[in-house]
Amino acid sequence: MKIVIKDEIRHFLRQASGPFISLYTDTYRSGPETRQNPVKLKNLLKEAEKQLADFDLDENAREKLLQPARKLVDDYDFWQHQDNGLALFLSRDEIRHYHLPYRVNPLVVVANEFHLKPLLPLYTRDDQYFLLALDQHRINLYEGNRYSIRKKPIPELPQSLAEALQYDDFEKLLNFHVAGPGGGGGHQHNAVYHGQGGEKDQRRDQLLRFFRTIDKALHDYLRDSKKPLILSGVEYYFPIYEEANSYPHLFEKGIQRAPESMTESELHAKAWAILEPHFREVQNRAAERYRELSLGNNGGGALKTADQFEDVVPAAFQGRVDPLFALRDHQQWGAFDETNLEVETDAGKRNDRKDLLDYAALRTLQHHGHVFLVSRENMPEESPVAAILRY
């Protein structure tokens, strides 16, 4: 699964000439139900064709827009590689698709910009992290979220502890075993060593120098990030890496198991089990801060929070929102005049109508704000949108 990154969202927002077609559907990964996948796409395209009738396009132009997706209906290879959901985007210039690791409600939007909110769980920063795998044979940095992890190529990153320390048998170099559990937890260490004390100190100094090399290699890549960095490796590494580390968001707990003994799926599952409570607490603290600040709105002066689209949308456009709470699977169709900063929440079937919740979320992300896509019970207001205002 490909994690959608900011550059791709920017690509969507830079598109100039509509109409743009956004299609979403749930899909089946295996079994006889997979035969329903092409049928679902065919039904979505019928709805897209109806919506295109509202645009000033002749029949040939409408068919040219839809044709790339129509070809996918009978593309056997395409349907062999599905996940839980599918997002498909069509414009005059290209067709793009994403296999989603979560289910989505069937949705067709034909408008003057792409509808991207169902994609945002792949990008919103409330569940993203880095994982540094301290494997003795290969050092890897991963970027992950609640759905998956993927390796990030860092050319300057040293590749092997064994090679870096110039020992033929790295296991012999360590010459210790770890007492205690091996699944996860804090960076406490309880290692049992063998051999001379001087050898142990020399080994630790060598590891410290090597970990400083890793930290230096990661510095440029991580320096503008606030995502937590979690370690995976034998427990003995953790306090030494903490000493070498300069990244301020190193997570206090790690995966106390050698990465080479796990698949990427297992690595992801263990990382998420440790980090999920942390991300939940971050969201809860943001909601509580919203509630506290909203009490100040009654005292006069500038608003500190907003829960009406007429206030939130212009603020998001101007980069004044951080964070934004948006009700998941909710659409609020309307129009927004970026010149006059005027919001219309009932735009009927106008060609310039858009999902105002989608618009506010994307503009918040553009300006480096956080977006929390939440269920109704986790919204800090009755409204489907709520924002803390930067100024």
β-pair type (305-306, 385-389): antiparallel
Compute the residue count for the chain. Answer: 391
Quick check: 387 and 307 in contact, CB under 8 A? yes
Q: What is the pTM of this model?
A: 0.75
Is 60 exceeded by the pLDDT of residue 262?
yes
Q: How far is the C-alpha of 116 from the C-alpha of 277, rounded, in Å?
A: 27
| Digit-coded pLDDT (tens) for 203-260 | 888 889 899 999 999 998 998 888 999 999 999 899 999 999 999 999 999 999 989 8
Give the tens place of pLDDT for each residue, 124-178: 666 889 999 998 778 999 999 888 888 998 988 887 766 655 544 445 555 544 4
* Mean pLDDT across 116-120: 87
Give me the sign of the Cα torsion angle 374, 118, 148, 321.
negative
Half-sphere exposure at residue 178, Cβ-oriented, CA atoms within 13 angstroms: 17
Averaged pLDDT, 84-104: 91
What's the rounded Cα separation, in Å, for the pair 105 and 86? 10
CB atoms closer than 10 angstroms to residue 163 = 13
In the chain, list all ranges with CATH 3.30.420.
Answer: 125-280
According to DSSP, the β-strands at 229-233 and 129-134 are parallel
pLDDT, position 157: 86
In the chain, residues under CATH classification 3.30.960.10 are: 6-116
**Rounded-to-integer distance, Cα 172 and Cα 226, Å:** 37
pLDDT greater than 50 at residue 180:
no
Calculate mean pLDDT across residues 338-360: 84
Q: Which residue carries 């937590």 as its tokens?
A: 228
Sign of CA dihedral 332, 333, 339, 341: negative
CATH number of the domain located at residue range(s) 6-116 in this protein: 3.30.960.10
**Token pair for 42:** 């065919």
Which residue blocks in 15-79 are alpha helix, DSSP H?
36-52, 59-73, 76-79
| Comma-separated ranges of CATH 3.30.1330.30 domains in the chain | 302-389
Has residue 344 got a pLDDT over 50? yes
User: For position 365, what pLDDT does the model report?
Assistant: 87
Q: Give the H/E segment covering residue 26.
A: strand 20-26
Nearest to 349 by CA among 87, 52, 113, 118: 52
- Is 302-389 CATH 3.30.1330.30? yes
Fill in the DSSP letter of residue 342.
E
Using the predicted structure, report yes or no on whether residue 27 has a pLDDT greater than 50.
yes
What residue type is assigned to position 99 of the chain?
H
pLDDT at 87: 95
Token pair 């943001």: residue: 286
DSSP line for 171-217:
HHHH-EEE-S--S-EES---EEE-S-HHHHHHHHHHHHHHHHHHHHH
Give the pLDDT score at 123.
72
More confident residue, 6 or 14: 14
Q: What is the DSSP string of 79-104?
A: HTS--SEEEEEE-SS-EEEEEESS--
What would you measure as the largest C-alpha separation in the chain, in angstroms? 84
CATH topology of domain 125-280: Nucleotidyltransferase; domain 5 (3.30.420)
Rg (CA), the chain: 25
Count CA within 13 A, CB hemisphere, residue 208. Answer: 11
DSSP state for residue 4 in the 8-state scheme: P
The alpha carbon dihedral of 2, 4, 7, 13 has a sign of: positive
pLDDT of res. 11: 74
